[in-house]
Amino acid sequence: MRLALLCAIWIAGCDGGDGSVVDSGVGDADESGDAVDAFVYKPCPIGELTTPAELQIVNFDAAKAIERTQPSQEIALHPAPQGGWMAVIGARARNLDGCSVKLTAAIVDAVDGQIIGVDRRDTRLVVDTDGWGQSSPDTFTNLQVCPQLTSTRDMHGQPYIFKVIVEDADGRKATAEVTAVPRCPPGVNFCTCECDRDYVLGSTCS
């Protein structure tokens, strides 16, 4: 188990090299097999912490490559293991502690302003060559888009507002939003069926 601890520290150290989370074998196992509560938090500032935090929205495209989310663009919907279709949304940010960021994404009806859904999780910002920190792919939000029992419009091919917030442990916070169009994978009728306004779970999609 000592070896595992050393490995964990080594791995964590490597993460620190790109400006992401660093810890000291948090939750590793000791000889008894119990988790070790030896968390040593080490912040990893990205940019200048004395200036306001900045944020850009990014998303997975259809091939799961990361792209900057632009106004009016299409946002690819991805299937989830137990059903449903997700927009995979992340953050590019700077001027905050990239090791303690809570990432919140919401999909908002652009017509009536209703918040359709929210996903919040810890994200790990990895410093890019331009000095911004970008959510590691495994810490993007998975924002459920369909099916959506309470929607008043189709959830595909229609514009919706994607709102994103990042906030670090010290309260540095930035908000951004963009209006974009969720899009089912081409030819996947099951997706468009489940994303139709009048779809009810359990009904048949041919």
Binding residues (CB under 8 A) for another protein: these are: 8, 11-12, 15, 21, 23, 26-29, 33-35, 39, 80-84, 86, 104, 106, 114-122, 124, 137-139, 142, 144, 147, 149-150, 163, 165, 200-202, 204
- Euclidean distance between CA atoms 101 and 98, whole angstroms: 6
Show the beta-strand stretches assigned E in the chain.
45-46, 54-60, 66-68, 74-76, 78-79, 85-94, 96-97, 101-109, 115-123, 125-127, 133-135, 141-146, 160-167, 173-183
Residues 6+ apart with CB under 8 A from 79: 85, 86, 191
Nearer to another protein, 25 or 47 (CB): 25
Query: What is the smallest separation between the CB atom of 157 and another protein, expressed in angstroms?
Result: 20
Give counts: helices (H), strands (E), the chain.
2, 14
Nearer to another protein, 130 or 171 (CB): 171
Query: What is the smallest separation between the CB atom of 129 and another protein, expressed in angstroms?
Result: 23
Query: What is the smallest separation between the CB atom of 141 and another protein, expressed in angstroms?
Result: 8
Nearer to another protein, 39 or 68 (CB): 39
Query: What is the smallest separation between the CB atom of 48 and another protein, expressed in angstroms?
Result: 25
